[in-house]
Structure 1
Amino acid sequence: MANSSDPSSCLSFTSSPHISNASITPNSSASDPPPTPDLLTNLSSNLGRLLADSGGDYSDAEITVEGVPVAVHRCILASRSEFFAELFRRENGDSEQEGKPKYCMSDLLPFGHVGYEAFLVFLSFVYTAKVRDFPVEVSSCVHNVCGHEACRPAIEFSLELMCASSVFGMPDLVSILQRQLIDFVLKALADDVIPILVVAFHCQLSQLIDQCIERVAHSDLDSISLEKALPDEVVEKIKILRRNSQHCCDPNMPAVDPLREKRIRRIHKALDSDDVELMKLLLTESDVTLDEANALHYAAAYCDPKVVAEVLGLGLADVNLRDSRGYTVLHIAVKRKEPSIIILLLSNGARASEPTLEGESAVSICRRLTRQKDYHTKTERGQVQRLGNCEGM
């Protein structure tokens, strides 16, 4: 448990340079004398010991997160969160046996994901009104030159914490995290802004939503990727901003051919349905090729691995083709983090050493997306590390 060294502050960050110090003072009635900083610090430390003390268990409920039971104290959660107060009033957990009521995190969340480590940081804030250090192993990547100020693991950890704070009703922590995520939006790659925008939409964080939409609208993210990841109303706002921006910059810019776009989208829909035979029929009925439709890129991003294998088996697509953003199919597969597709592409001639327009190889993309906790972790369907053996090909 990380405690603030400043007794005048009830909330502090010490783990990341992009998080600033703040303070939170509990509400008090106008007739009560204000609590002194020392009293608040002592109270925070005493409550924090309930989480840190392994010598005794005074908890009266459990919340299972990622398969790990976390002991909690219902009186504290209920006093700090209306969500938990209502939950404990409504039911006693899903355990039919005598003892502590038990809850499952996945049953409590209407959206998003909250991991074990993020929930511990959230609980620490609930008990102590302090934000403890973010665990390095789950909030930083393994890229050897990354400063971890806005890499994907740092963003994802903050988003998990935001989901917990928003759903469970901790507005002070939501406010702090929103400022941090706005800073991420300015520093992160455009692709990494998408998950921030999704969570901001569900949490109804208007300021963060506006910042994300502005950043995405001025990025090179294609419409298909946006439509796959974002709610329709958000996509429409981005398209309006883009149309206005294009008109201001170049009013004579040629319009997109709607018939060609329609044919490409039909090919993608066939892939969505795992219907490669329909895709082949569509190809014979139009002048659009697999490469012009970026069909292999699309399959690697969104389809089942067997569909990727079938498209490769046709022998009509260039496995090292670059899309409009300069990404090869392997770059897309690595971003998806699907080992079986990565291995399939490598086995069919994909070059792991091919860089993006920014100079990143598939290996460096993989490292930037991988948490330290997950590094070297084997999966049942393959190992991402195989890319390292092929980097010099």
Structure 2
Amino acid sequence: MKKSYIIAAVLALALTAWVLGGYFLRTDVKEVANAPEDTKPVPAMTVSVRTQEAKPVSQVVVAQGQAEPNRTVTVRAETMGQVAEILADEGSTVATGDVIVRLEQNDRQARIARAKARVREQESAYEAAQALGKKGYQTQRQADQIYSSLQTAKAELEEAQIEIERLEIKAPFEGDVLSVPVELGAYVDTNGEVATIVDNHPLVASVQITQQKITDLKVGQTASVTFATGQEREGKIRYIAARADEKTRTFRVEIELPNSDGRIPSGISAEAKIPTGSVMAHFVSPADLSLNDAGKLGVKTVSQDNRVVFHEAVIVMSDADGAWVIGLPPKARIITLGHGYVQIGEQVQVAEEQGGAGMAGSKEAAARLTTGGVGEPTAAQ
């Protein structure tokens, strides 16, 4: 009996402990749930910043093309005949009026002799008709007919003399003989091809300019052309097409270049650089560029109150070291380290760079890309 009471007492104590344990557990959970949050502020992100000012950058339109002769002509025979002499070889230089090919005369001298005799005969007849007409022995009509015959004879003589002159096929201008597709003794028809002559002075660089850039160019504008041979020439735009090519939507532009020494041949590849003005731009390294939520390329900077600002940037020139961009304020505090971890408008702590690598790259690029203006780098478009 006593043992039963003891067991009952132990069970009662265990049940009481279990109930009280649940109460205290619920109380602890409630207290934890209702505990106030930690109000300690999170420290602002620290970013590395480089302060720099925009620099003048010369903008340049770059276009590919080829060197072309100033003019090319296919010299043709104005009369038929057999080739008697070839006086200009392929690759030789000729002056204006130099004989390239001479044809056989055959009976052309005899034709001139007959034409001269005919002229003399008609001149005598006309003189006699005038004398008889003064004495009244011949009518004016008869005298006019003889005069007409005299003029016909003179015209026939002139034609025969021109025919002799046409036997000498001459260069129409100074240039280089590109080809002579005839052989000694060959027969040439009227309008037959005798030679091709090219004039490479001045030389012309023909390039294609996109429709977005054509309004930046004008006739007389200076340009620099580099050829596939490594040679360079300075020239001026002499022609801008008034209509775009229907297939490529580009405009043909011709740049006239001096080539008096003839060292640059026509037909080789060429690259033209045409300055179109200058803009104020910042040099940034590729690591300084980022994208905003809209996918726009730009640069993150820090405002005067140390908040992150995003500026959409337009690249006006780029190379292996970085890019010259516009769209930033004249003086910008560019985030160079940490821009990927901060949001636009976020307050940040600033660690200023002292002569960082980006600025060094900017100076090197400016020195390398200067094209005429002192300390003005060139931006290719």
Q: TM-score, normalised by structure 1?
A: 0.20
Between Structure 1 and Structure 2, the one with more strand by share is 2
Greater relative CO (CA pairs within 8 A, separation 6+) = 2
Between Structure 1 and Structure 2, the one with more helix by share is 1
Report which of the two structures shows the higher radius of gyration computed on alpha carbons: 2
Q: TM-score, normalised by structure 2?
A: 0.21
